Structure 1
Amino acid sequence: MKSFLSASLLALTASGAVSAQDLPQASSQWFTDGQSALETALAKQHNTGRALNVILFVADGNGVATNYMSRLWAGQQEGGMGDDYVQPHEAFPELALVKTYNINAQTPDSAPTAGSMNTGVKQRFNVINVGEDAINGDCTTEAANELTVFSELMTEAGKSVGTVSTARLTHATPAAVYAKTVDRNWEYSVPAECTESRDIATQLVDAMEAGTLDVALGGGARGFAPEGVATPNGGKGRREDGVNLIERAEGLGVSIAGNLEELNAISEGPVLGLFGDSHASYEADRPEGEPSLADLTGKAIELLSQNENGFYLEIEAGRVDHANHAANAKRAMIDGKAFADAIALADEMTDDADTLIIVTADHEHAIAMNGYCGRGTPIDGLCFDIAKEGIMHSDELVLASDGKPYTVVGYLNGASSVLVEQADGTYAAPEGRPELTQEQAQDIDYAQQTLIPKSSESHSGVDVALYAKGPWAHLFDGTVEQNYIFHVMNHAVNAE
Structure 2
Amino acid sequence: MYPELPDIEPYESQLAFETFPTVGLTKTYCINGQIADSSCTATAYLCGVKANRGTIGLSGAVPRYDWAASLQEAARLSSIAAWALDDGRGAGIVTTTRVTHASPAGAFAKVANRHWENNAEILKDNQDPNLCSDIAQQLVHSYPGNRFKVILGGGRREFLPISILDEEGTAGRRTDGRNLIEEWQADKRARNVTYNYVWNRNQLMNIIEPLPEYLLGLFEGDHLPYHLEADSATEPSLAELTEFAIRSLSRNEKGFFLFVEGGRIDHAHHDNLAELALDETLEMSAAVARAAELLSEDDSLIVVTADHAHVMTLNGYSPRGTDILGPSNDRDEAGVPYMTLSYSNGPGFRPHINGTRADVTTEPNYRRVEWMSHVDVPLESETHGGEDVAVFARGPQHAMFAGLYEQSQLPHLMAYAACIGPGLHACSAAATQLLTPALLAATTYSILLKIYILFE
Aligned-partner Cα distance in 2 for 1:117–1:248? 30
Aligned-partner Cα distance in 2 for 1:205–1:407? 46
Give how far 1:80 is off: 5.1
CA contact 1:366–1:413 (8 Å) conserved in 2 = yes
2:432 is matched with which residue?
none
5+ long unaligned stretches in structure 2 = 1-5, 189-194, 420-425, 428-456
2:344 matched to 1:412? yes
Aligned-partner Cα distance in 1 for 2:133–2:69? 14
2:158 matched to 1:223? yes
In the superposition, the TM-score normalised over structure 2's length comes to 0.84
Q: Which amino acid aligns with 2:112?
A: V
Which of 211, 226, 231 aligns to 1:282? It is 226
1:379 is matched with which residue?
324
Give how far 1:269 is off: 3.0
Aligned-partner Cα distance in 2 for 1:478–1:233? 47
2:202 matched to 1:261? yes
Structure 1 residues 440 and 319, CA gap change in structure 2 (3 angstroms): same
1:45 is matched with which residue?
none
Give how far 1:120 is off: 1.0
2:327 matched to 1:435? no
2:59 is matched with which residue?
131
Match of 1:406, SS state, is: strand
Give how far 1:435 is off: 2.1
Structure 1 residues 454 and 429, CA gap change in structure 2 (3 angstroms): farther
1:86 is matched with which residue?
14
Match of 1:231, SS state, is: coil
2:67 matched to 1:143? no
Give how far 1:312 is off: 0.3
Match of 2:11, SS state, is: coil
2:260 matched to 1:319? no
The one-character-per-residue Cα deviations of 1:153-188 (angstroms, maximum 9, x if unpaired) are: 111111111111101100000111111101100001
Aligned-partner Cα distance in 1 for 2:398–2:166? 41
CA contact 1:117–1:486 (8 Å) conserved in 2 = yes
Give how far 1:193 is off: 3.0
Give percent identity, aligned residues only.
Answer: 36
Which of 62, 82, 87 aligns to 1:157? It is 87
CA contact 1:225–1:238 (8 Å) conserved in 2 = yes
CA contact 1:151–1:212 (8 Å) conserved in 2 = no
What RMSD over aligned residues (CA atoms) do the two structures have, in Å? 1.8
2:376 is matched with which residue?
451
Aligned-partner Cα distance in 2 for 1:313–1:446? 34
1:100 is matched with which residue?
28
In the superposition, the TM-score normalised over structure 1's length comes to 0.77
Aligned-partner Cα distance in 1 for 2:187–2:17? 37
Structure 1 residues 429 and 139, CA gap change in structure 2 (3 angstroms): farther
CA contact 1:207–1:213 (8 Å) conserved in 2 = no
Aligned-partner Cα distance in 2 for 1:453–1:170? 29
CA contact 2:108–2:144 (8 Å) conserved in 1 = no
CA contact 1:139–1:182 (8 Å) conserved in 2 = yes
Q: Which amino acid aligns with 1:315?
A: V
CA contact 2:85–2:144 (8 Å) conserved in 1 = no
Give how far 1:92 is off: 0.1
Larger of the two Rg values belongs to structure: 1
2:409 matched to 1:464? no
**Which residues in structure 2 correspond to 1:11-160 (within 5 Å)?**
81-144=9-72, 145-160=75-90
Aligned-partner Cα distance in 2 for 1:208–1:124? 23
Match of 2:331, SS state, is: coil
Structure scoring higher RCO (CA < 8 A, sep ≥ 6) equals 1
Match of 2:197, SS state, is: strand
2:185 matched to 1:250? yes
Structure 1 residues 265 and 175, CA gap change in structure 2 (3 angstroms): same
2:307 is matched with which residue?
362
Match of 2:242, SS state, is: helix
1:478 is matched with which residue?
403
1:273 is matched with which residue?
217
5+ long unaligned stretches in structure 1 = 1-75, 385-397, 420-427
2:138 is matched with which residue?
203
2:147 is matched with which residue?
212
Give how far 1:208 is off: 7.2
CA contact 1:429–1:453 (8 Å) conserved in 2 = no
